[in-house]
Amino acid sequence: MNILEIDGLGLECQAAGRIWPWIGPAFRGMVAKTFKDSVCRHSVPERESHWIACRGCPYMADCSYGQTLEPDPPSGAAVRRGQADAARPLVLAPAFPLPEEVRAGTVIPLRLVLIGVAAERVNQILEVVDLAGRSKGLHNCFDGPGRGGHGPERIPLRLGRTTALAQRSCQLTSHHFAVDSAVCVPEVRVALTSPLAISVQNEISLSPRFGDLLAASLRIVSHLFSLYDQPLEVDFDRLKQLAECVTPVSSGFRPYSQPITSNRARQKHTFRGVVGTSSYRDVPRSLLPWLEWGGRLHVGERRIAGAGGWQVSFA
CA–CA distance, 36 with 310 (Å, rounded to integer): 29
21 vs 300: CA distance, rounded Å: 19
Residue 201 region, left (φ>0) first, then alpha (ψ -120 to 50), else beta?
left
Global confidence as pTM: 0.90
**Domains by residue range for the chain, with CATH:** 2-171 (no CATH), 175-314 (3.30.70.1900)
Please say whether the beta carbons of 263 and 33 come within 8 A: yes
Cα(first)–Cα(last) distance of the chain, in Å? Answer: 30
Reported as type and span, the H/E element at residue 171 is strand 157-171
How does pLDDT run along the chain (315 residues), one tens digit per residue?
999 999 989 988 888 888 889 999 988 988 999 999 999 999 999 988 889 889 889 999 889 999 999 998 766 655 555 545 689 999 999 999 999 888 989 999 999 999 999 999 999 999 998 888 765 456 544 444 433 222 346 677 888 766 677 889 999 999 999 877 778 999 999 999 999 999 998 899 999 999 999 999 999 999 999 999 999 988 999 999 999 989 999 889 999 999 887 665 566 889 999 999 999 999 999 999 999 999 999 999 999 999 999 999 997
